[in-house]
Every structure is written in C-alpha cells, then in structure tokens.
Homo-oligomer: A and B are copies of this chain.
Amino acid sequence: MSRPTIAEVARAAGVSVASVSRVLNGLPATEEMVVRVQRAVQELGYVPDSRARSLKVGRTFQLTLAVADVGNPVYVTMMRAVEEVVSAAGYRLVVTTTGSDVVDEVALVRGMARGYADGLVISPLRVDDDLIKSIRECDVPVVVAGNVPASAGVDTVRANSPKGMALAVEHLLTKGRDRIAFVNGPVDTVPGAARAKGFADALKQYKLEAAGAIEADDFTFAAGRAAGQEFFKTNRPNAVICANDLLAVGVMHELAAYGLAVPADVAVIGMDDSELAEQSFPPLTSVNLGSAERGRRAAELLLARIDDDSRKPKRIVVQPTLSVRRSTP
C-alpha cells in the first residue's frame, strides 16, 4: 500500500495541511489540534517524505563519509568516531567507498550535489588538481581527512606521519634494532609519499642507513605478503616498519614462512593502530596516527562549516603516539 501524504492526514484529521505540518514540527498549536493530528498520523501510519521535506528546507540531514577501502580497519576506527559526532548532532551518516583511483574520488565529489547530503568528509588516497578543484566547486561543505596543500583552501585534519615515523625509529633504536627496513604502500599516494619522506627524515636524524625499502602495490594484506615475499629472500634487517597495519600483518605472515621469529629475529611495527593491531599475533606494535581523533575532529569541522560557511579554513594536525605491543622486543 502506498504511503499517505500530508494531505490525506489533513483530510482525515479535518484540518489543513499547514496545521499538520506545524504540529509535526512542534510549532505552537492548540491542545485539540495536536491530538487530532497525532491520532490521524497514528491511524494512517504517516511518515513524512524526506525528499519533499529536504527539497523545501534545503537540507537532507545526511552526511557522507567517503573512504577508499572498507576492508582497511583504520577506516573502521575513523568511521566510528565520525558516526558518534554526527549522530549526536542529529545527522545520519552514510558511508560510501571510492576505491583508490583518483578519478573515482573526483566523480564522487562532483556527484555530491546538494540533495545527496549536507556535507562530506573524504579521506583521499591520491590527490590531484582535479580533485581539489572539484572540492572547491562542490556546493556542500567538504572536509578532507588527509593532507592537501593549504592553497586548496579547505578544512583539513591530518596525521603527522613523519613524527610517527620518528617514534617508530626511536623505539626500535632503544631496543637495539638498527637495521631497519621499510615496507611502504604506493608512493604516488598521499600517505605513501608522506611516510616515505618521514622514514628518510627519521633515519637521517639518527644518521642511519635504511636496511632496505620496498614499495607494495597497495595498502592491503595481500600486497604486504607479496612485498614480504620479494624482500626477505635476500635482505636481513632486524626490524621492519610498515606503512600500515595490513601491510605489517602481511609481512609477518611471510616472516613466519621464512622461519623468522617476531620479535626475536625481526621486530615489526605497523601504522594506524587499528583493531587489527590488537588482533594480530603477535599483537602488533603500531604507530597510532590518531584515526579516531581525526575522525572526530573532521566531523566537528564539517558541522561547524555547515553552520557557518564563511569561517576561514582550518588545518588541524593530530599528533601520533606509539602503542607498544609484542611485535617489538
């Protein structure tokens, strides 16, 4: 059966549509009016059509979070944090996944016409001028959870991965591990580039040489395994830092396959400190890049901008901490 409209409710209650709308939106009305309308609503099982409503009021009360890969547990952490903030503000959160290709991201932002959502938090893997252009032209507010140039003029919340790298390297050095290898994700991604630079800087700071660096095809478990396979045949570092937890777990599987013990033979450090770090075996020492806090603050920034679009863009940097677990000595 088809949904009743406000007109049918009005007819059933013997009042005008305007009165029904007013009662539903809690505007002043007599006791009797409220009762009549509510009874009619009850009886017909009326629920307002949100399309029509949002067409009129200009808001959908939906916010979108766009992430590259739902399989990456770091996004779970971020998603939970965002969800908490936006639902407290009376919005519902919808999550969509972009894939790691920048043209998909651009298409998503372009298609983010007013009408799908009132705002967008996007965590892009790859950033190019097209993406930045589409974000600026987007007619709903966009907050980037990630690193884009200040010139883009957009609210951002990003991690400090160089500092995170430094934490990881320092930790390994205090544990006496000085032959440190690095398994990165694709360096043409924003996090990949940042982490590569961070690793190089951290080593330079301690006047160390890298014991090897390898670029995985992707930020996934499978790519981590593949990277490990290629690498540990020939190289013998006593520690390896991975650009995220999935890569680290993939690498640990390969280490086991080559009969190397973690942490005794090789210490392993991941990044993101996702739920997977806790679940892996041995539990993974991981650089906490503050995904939860980044999610929370990105959501807050978005709400603030929806509230007032004229405020100048804010760029927040969340500082990392190290979660030490048993994959390091």
Chain A residues in contact with chain B, CB under 8 A? 1-3, 45, 47-55, 60, 62, 70-71, 73, 76, 79-80, 83, 92-97, 110-111, 113-116, 137, 139, 221, 246, 249-250, 252-253, 256, 275-276, 278-281, 283
Given contacts A96-B93, A113-B48, A139-B2, contact A79 B83 (CB under 8 A): no
* This chain: copies in complex: 2
Contacts of A278 in B (CB 8 A): 221
The verdict on A96 contacting B94 (CB below 8 Å), with A2-B139, A137-B45, A221-B275 known, is: yes
Q: How far is the CB of A256 from chain B (nearest CB, A)?
A: 7
Q: In the bound complex, do residue B113 and residue A3 qualify as a contact, i.e. CB atoms below 8 Å apart? A: yes
Known: A49-B113, A51-B115, A221-B279. 20 other contacts (CB 8 A): A2-B139, A3-B113, A3-B114, A48-B113, A51-B54, A51-B55, A51-B114, A52-B115, A70-B76, A70-B80, A70-B95, A71-B73, A71-B76, A93-B96, A250-B279, A252-B281, A253-B279, A253-B281, A256-B281, A280-B281
Once bound together, how far apart are the Cα atoms of A51 and B51, in whole Å? 5
Q: Find the B residue at minimum CB distance from A47.
A: B113
Which residues from chain B contact A253 at a C-beta distance below 8 Å?
279, 281, 283
User: How far does the alpha carbon of A29 sit from the alpha carbon of B235 in the complex, in Å?
Assistant: 66
Q: Who on chain B is nearest to A256 by CB?
A: B281
Select one of B49, B50, B92, B281 contacting A281, CB under 8 A.
B281
Q: Which residues of B contact A53 (CB under 8 A)?
A: 115
Q: State in angstroms the CA–CA spacing of A92 and B47 once bound together.
A: 24
Chain B residue nearest to A2 (CB atoms) is B139
A113 touches B71 (CB 8 A): no
Please report the C-alpha to C-alpha distance between residue A2 and residue B281 in the assembled complex, in whole angstroms. 53
The listed residue (B49, B62, B250) touching A114 by CB distance below 8 A is: B49
Q: Which residues of B contact A2 (CB under 8 A)?
A: 139
CB distance from A50 to the nearest CB of B (A): 4
Q: In the complex, A139 Cα to B116 Cα: how many Å?
A: 20
Contact, CB under 8 Å: B71 / A275: yes
